[in-house]
Amino acid sequence: DAGVTQSPTHLIKTRGQQVTLRCSPKSGHDTVSWYQQALGQGPQFIFQYYEEEERQRGNFPDRFSGHQFPNYSSELNVNALLLGDSALYLCASSDDPSGAQYFGPGTRLTVL
């Protein structure tokens, strides 16, 4: 059983560009959450999707948007990239009512 998978592994963009990151949840998991982890910091919650709708959102601007597909996979889109958007972006899935989550390996985004 494959765990949470993310693509691409690494990505380099320039300021002002747009980026799309992809996530496939662990089999059977219907909830997907996205996190931004800056270097040396803990993950910061971006948003969570359930049944193709955004259910929760953290303190991130509207430049960050997402989507969940009927097969529960998800995309994170970031528009008008800033240097400060450089980070590891983590996807996590869950089917646990307690909120315990399974994390993917992340996508390392570098904005130049």
- Note whether 33 binds another protein by CB under 8 A: yes
C-alpha torsion sign, points 53, 37, 103, 12? positive
Q: Minimum distance from CB of 104 to another protein (Å)? A: 5
Exposed, middle or buried by CB within 10 Å (0-12, 13-18, 19+), for 71?
A: exposed
Beta bridge partners of 89: 36, 107
Q: Minimum distance from CB of 68 to another protein (Å)? A: 14
- Note whether 103 binds another protein by CB under 8 A: yes
- Note whether 60 binds another protein by CB under 8 A: no
Q: Indicate which single residue of 8, 14, 55, 61 sits in contact with another protein (rule: CB under 8 A).
A: 55
- Note whether 97 binds another protein by CB under 8 A: yes
User: Which residues within the stretch 9-28 sit at the binding site for another protein (CB under 8 A)?
Assistant: none
